[in-house]
């Protein structure tokens, strides 16, 4: 790997480690795994495997690391020919289902030098260069004499300082031990050291230089990138489909609203038409019910006017009554009509003129029209005409001498 790129990645990892995201994702993944059955948790825990090589005087002990657990996998005798050792290791490696299994050479804990240093947190961005400068001060070696690696153990409460564990081994010693490995096992992914005894866990460092590490093509990265791109495409498709469904739902609702509005307008128009029809049908009835009865008015006039009086015209218009006719004594008609419950404020219109042909006075009286109550008139006193003209009985034999009574002409402007 390019050293400049490796430094940039290390700087990014350091900055990410300072954020709360790693702790959150660790907690979140742990909570998700806790929800799975035990068998599934075991399968997911074993997805990352490594073969740990422990070189001893007479044999090579192969440990199988699954997650955080190490178990002895096999032993290869060192007195076998190198070809047999290499074939046996390849057989052990092929028996593991994971094609990306890593091979790590583990050194006993007493054969490496470890130091715990307190450094500023800002040094984590370029930790390897800082440790190279501090190597001759902290150890009896120079940086070019050893293979070394480090890991951040913890940070203080303020976050300004970091506790760094430095692990190193002389170059000649490590080169000699790596030369003793069989050819098939010499293709290593890293060199680490045990924390205490073999099989009790390793330090999780890598003393092997970058140029000597095995170059493996990890297909998980392209696969994960492809899956991420596919997930992004599916997300876009789902969002587009959701927007399309929402637009279709909005259009459907809009069509229903327009249809409801049209139906509501039709109902309102029908309601208005019905109301107008009912109002038109009830107009005459209401006018007759609310207006005065013409029959009652004519009856009242017939009872109040003297027998020597007859009407030529009766006109009703806008609550006004106009009476035209002839009478012997027209001046008395005002008093007679003033007592009528159907008329109010009677008065002559113009002058009373005598008619030489009939020897009667021609008159025209205007009055206000009031509501009449025929029932009340039926229960009242005797006809006023008899009271006003007590000699009506005596006049009857002389009826032939008078002009014959003419029927009144009624004109109603409202009816």
Q: What is the pTM of this model?
A: 0.49
Partners of 115 in the β-ladder: 166
Give the torsion sign (CA, 40, 45, 50, 52): negative
For residue 303, what are the CA distances in angstroms to 18, 310, 320, 389?
Answer: 118, 12, 20, 11
CA 49 and chain centroid, separation: 47
74 and 146 share one domain: yes
CA pair distance 140, 353, nearest whole angstrom: 157
37 and 61 share one domain: no
26 and 122 share one domain: no
196 and 314 share one domain: no
Judge contact between 199 and 74, C-beta under 8 A: no
312 and 298 share one domain: yes
Instruction: Find the CATH number of the domain harbouring 302.
Output: 3.30.70
The residue behind tokens 């307008």 is: 265
What pLDDT score was predicted for residue 378?
45
16 and 90 share one domain: no
* Residue 11, in any domain of the structure: yes
What's phi and psi for 265, nearest 5 deg?
Answer: -65, -40
8 and 53 share one domain: no
55 and 186 share one domain: yes
What pLDDT score was predicted for residue 385?
37
Length of the chain: 415
pLDDT in tens, 50-69: 899 998 889 999 999 887 78
The two beta strands, 320-327 and 310-317, are antiparallel
What pLDDT score was predicted for residue 249?
93
Judge contact between 408 and 313, C-beta under 8 A: yes
* Residue 352, in any domain of the structure: yes
For residue 227, what are the CA distances in angstroms to 33, 45, 193, 231, 234?
Answer: 21, 21, 36, 6, 10
The residue behind tokens 């440990």 is: 63
Instruction: Find the CATH number of the domain harbouring 153.
Output: 3.30.420
What pLDDT score was predicted for residue 146?
94
* Residue 398, in any domain of the structure: no
Which H/E stretch holds residue 59?
Answer: strand 59-66
CA pair distance 249, 252, nearest whole angstrom: 5
115 and 178 share one domain: yes
27 and 63 share one domain: no
DSSP string, 331-364: GGHHHHHHT-SSEEEEEESS--EEETTTTEEEEE
35 and 71 share one domain: no
What's phi and psi for 412, nearest 5 deg?
Answer: -115, 115
What pLDDT score was predicted for residue 381?
41
Which residues does the chain have with pLDDT short of 50? 375-415
Of 188, 163, 166, give the one whose Cα is nearest residue 175. 188
39 and 179 share one domain: no
* Residue 287, in any domain of the structure: no
How many domains, in total, are found in the chain?
3
DSSP string, 147-207: EEEEEEEEE-TTSSEEEEEEEEEEHHHHHHHHHTS-GGG-S-SEEEEBSSSTTS-B-----
Of 147, 71, 151, 154, give the one whose Cα is nearest residue 111. 147
What's phi and psi for 346, nearest 5 deg?
Answer: -70, 145
* Residue 184, in any domain of the structure: yes
What pLDDT score was predicted for residue 406?
40
Tokens of 225: 């990138």
Q: Running DSSP on this structure, what letter comes out for residue 367?
A: E
Indicate the residue among 187, 215, 243 that finishes a domain.
215
For residue 204, what are the CA distances in angstroms to 150, 153, 208, 213, 387?
Answer: 9, 11, 12, 15, 139
**Parent domain of 10:** 1-45
Partners of 313 in the β-ladder: 324
């Amino acid at each position: 790997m390019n050293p400049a790129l490796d430094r940039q990645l290390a700087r990014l990892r350091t900055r990410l480690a300072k954020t709360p995201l790693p702790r959150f994702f660790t907690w979140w993944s742990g909570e998700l795994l806790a929800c799975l059955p035990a068998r599934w948790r075991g399968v997911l825990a074993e997805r990352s495997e490594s073969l740990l090589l422990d070189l001893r005087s007479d044999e090579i002990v192969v440990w199988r690391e699954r997650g955080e657990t190490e178990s002895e996998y096999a032993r290869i005798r060192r007195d076998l020919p190198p070809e047999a050792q290499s074939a046996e290791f390849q057989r052990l490696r092929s028996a593991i289902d994971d094609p990306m299994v890593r091979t790590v050479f583990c050194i006993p804990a007493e054969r490496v030098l470890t130091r715990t240093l307190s450094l500023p947190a800002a040094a984590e961005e370029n930790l390897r260069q800082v440790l190279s400068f501090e190597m001759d001060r902290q150890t009896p070696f120079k940086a070019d004499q050893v293979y070394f690696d480090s890991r951040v153990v913890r940070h203080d409460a303020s976050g300004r300082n970091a506790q760094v564990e430095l692990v190193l081994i002389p170059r000649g010693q490590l080169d000699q031990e790596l030369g003793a490995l069989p050819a098939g096992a010499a293709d290593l992914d890293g060199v680490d050291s045990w924390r205490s005894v073999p099989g009790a866990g390793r330090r999780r460092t890598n003393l092997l230089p970058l140029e000597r590490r095995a170059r493996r093509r990890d297909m998980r990265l392209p696969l994960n990138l492809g899956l991420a791109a596919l997930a992004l495409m599916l997300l876009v498709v789902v969002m587009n489909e959701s927007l399309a469904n929402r637009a279709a739902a909005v259009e459907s609702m809009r069509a229903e609203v327009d249809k409801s509005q049209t139906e509501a307008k039709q109902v309102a128009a029908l309601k208005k038409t019905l109301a107008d029809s009912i109002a038109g049908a009830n107009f005459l009835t209401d006018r007759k019910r609310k207006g005065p009865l013409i029959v009652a008015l004519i009856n009242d006039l017939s009872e109040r006017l003297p027998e020597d009086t007859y009407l030529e015209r009766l006109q009703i218009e806008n609550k006004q009554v106009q009476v035209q006719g002839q009478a012997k004594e027209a001046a008395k008609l005002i008093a007679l009509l003033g007592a009528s419950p159907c008329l109010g404020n009677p008065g002559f219109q113009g002058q009373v003129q005598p008619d030489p042909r009939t020897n009667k006075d021609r008159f025209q009286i205007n009055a206000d029209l009031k509501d009449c109550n025929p029932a009340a008139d039926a229960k009242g006193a005797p006809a006023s005409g008899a009271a006003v003209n007590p000699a009506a009985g005596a006049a009857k034999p002389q009826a032939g001498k008078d002009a014959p009574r003419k029927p009144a002409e009624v004109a109603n402007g409202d009816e």
